[in-house]
Each structure stands twice: as C-alpha cells, then as structure tokens.
Amino acid sequence: MKKVIKVFKKNAKLILVFLIGVSFTGISVLALNKIESKDVFYTHVSSNVKNVQEAVEEIYTLKEGNKFLLENGFRYTGANPNNYISFNNELWRIIGILDGKIKIIRNETIGSHSWNSEQKNDWAMSNLYQYLNTTYYDSLNETSKIMVENATWKTGGWSTPNVTTRQMYLYEGSVKGATSSASIITNGYIGLMSASDYGYASSECYNKMKLNDYNNTLCVSTNWLNSKKNEWTITVSSVSERGVFYISNVVSYINDVNVAYEVRPSLYLKSDVYIKEGTGTSSDPYIVTID
C-alpha cells in the first residue's frame, strides 16, 4: 500500500483534524490545523504528523476499528483537487483512502437508473446493485476487473439529511435501514458514493453546514463531487423502506426508489494496486497498475 501513497507527496495538500477527546458518547474536535490548503482531508488522532506521507503511513499502524478514526482515512476535498485517475480507459477520481483502500468514482455518470423497482431500499437486493455488480462490472476490461476489490459497503443511513457530515458518516455504518431484511453492510465490487462522501468533498462546508443546507454558492463551488445533476447515493432511510438519499447540490431525500436518477459507479481498488505515473490532473491523470 505504501507504493500507492508515495505519489501523494507530489501534490496532496491536507487539512488535519486532530481528534483528542474520546468518550463513550463521542469525540470532540479540539484543534484544526491547516497544513497547506484544502485539497485533502484527513482525520487523525494526534498532532505530530508533518506531511501526507507520514499521516497515511501512520494510519495503517492503528488497529482496525479504532474509535479515534471516525473517517478512518483521508479524503480529497475542494473545488477541483488533482485526484484524477485513469481506470478502464476512462477518467475517474479518487474520493480518498478509506479503511486502507483507495476509493474511486467515475468522473461522468453512466446515465439514469432507478435505485430499485420493488420499492425497497435494501441495497443488496436492489436492481441497481444487481446491474452494477453484473452487467456493469462485466463491461470493465479484464485488467481493470483484476484491480477491483470485493469490498464491504456501509449501507446504513438516517431519517433526514438535517445532520452534519460526521453524524451521517456514523449513521451510515451503525444504523440499519428500515427494510427489515437489509443489512448495515453489503459486499460487492461496485457501489455508489455515500451521502457523507459528498459532504466531505466540500472544503468550506463539511464542518460548518448540515447536509441539507449545501445549496449555496460556497458549498457548491468548493465541492468537486457536485455534478449539477440529481444523482443517487448508497445511503438509505432508517425510517422508510422506500427512502434513499440523493444529491441535488444538497443531500436530499426521496421516498421513492423507483425514480430514475443519474448513477456514477464507485469502487475500491485492491491494496496491491499502485500508481506508476501521472500527476493527478485531468490532462495527466494517475496511471495505475497491479503487482
């Protein structure tokens, strides 16, 4: 995994949020230290990290499930960070390094699809899950398929987008959706961004605004994940079996999973995938390979 991280030394810039007040009820943020700019977001437990390389390498020394690491990784944030990556001979972008793996998202949508025609927000049983993990996955070239991790996706959610990004992130991994048979986690090759992924992508609003208040010039202009289209997330309602969150500048909620919204596939790369060249710009995206 260190091979992947070394490339970020070139242009990754970060905000360190030091989390040092732990209790059974939560974690208090006591300091915000801006290192260079707002292109990379990283949540960390201590204040002795000097650069991106040290920050990312240190995270792998911590045990899985450590409660200090709410986001358990670092994320790209801002208007247009250099997080472009060539994958499947297409332009994708890196959301960040989460749970020790690089999470990426297609730069363009693949068109509009309903989340599920059966009006149930159980991701593992949804039409969109089936399509992405069969038809769409099978359409990837063989080299790309080898790179894709069969990953664990957090498919929980909450009752409303009137919460902070951090709150939504915690709900996604701990609060079960309303569908009785649904699980909080689902394994699969292809998924979608979560509601909290979108929240963290805005450098000016992730720690200031609730997700349903993002519909302003500041939040939209500083969020690289904003596609200016209605777009599905993987995050579901905890109170309605038909409810799913979607993006429309703000994080919105709809109680009808049969509606057709835009879809941008997301996936995790295997840990032995690494970047061999490129600077991460749209004209010189990262080129990845696998051992």
Q: Which of the four pLDDT bands, split at 50, 70 and 90, describes residue 128? A: very high
Average pLDDT over residues 24-46: 31
Calpha distance 193→266 (Å, rounded)? 6
User: Which of 40, 63, 83 is where one domain is finished?
Assistant: 83
Q: How many domains are there within the chain?
A: 2
CB 257 within 8 A of CB 236: no
111 and 143 within one domain: yes
Calpha distance 45→40 (Å, rounded)? 16
Q: In terms of DSSP bridges, do strands 84-87 and 250-254 run parallel, antiparallel, or are they unpaired?
A: unpaired
123 and 52 within one domain: no
CB 94 within 8 A of CB 85: yes
172 and 244 within one domain: yes
User: Which of 56, 83, 110 is where one domain is finished?
Assistant: 83
Write out the H or E segment, with its range, that includes residue 271: none
16 and 138 within one domain: no
Average pLDDT score, the chain: 78
Calpha distance 149→133 (Å, rounded)? 12
91 and 78 within one domain: no
User: Which of 55, 83, 111 is where one domain is finished?
Assistant: 83
108 and 79 within one domain: no
190 and 142 within one domain: yes
132 and 229 within one domain: yes
102 and 28 within one domain: no
Residue 285 lies in a domain: no
Calpha distance 146→72 (Å, rounded)? 25
14 and 99 within one domain: no
Residue 288 lies in a domain: no
**Does the structure show a pLDDT above 90 at 220?**
yes
Domain holding 44, by residue range, is 2-83
Q: Which residue has the tokens 């060249």?
A: 277
**Does the structure show a pLDDT above 60 at 137?**
yes
How big is the CA angle at 266 (ends 262 and 269), to the nearest 5 degrees? 165
Most confident of 14-18, 167-171, 201-205: 167-171
CB 102 within 8 A of CB 40: no
Q: Extract the tokens encoding 165.
A: 């990004």
Residue 211 lies in a domain: yes
Would you list the DSSP string of 94-107? EEEEETTEEEEEES
143 and 77 within one domain: no
Residue 287 lies in a domain: no
| Other C-beta atoms lying within 10 Å of the C-beta of residue 216 | 13
44 and 156 within one domain: no
Could you tell me the pTM of the whole model? 0.78
Residue 281 lies in a domain: no
Calpha distance 197→195 (Å, rounded)? 5
Q: Extract the tokens encoding 95.
A: 């959301």
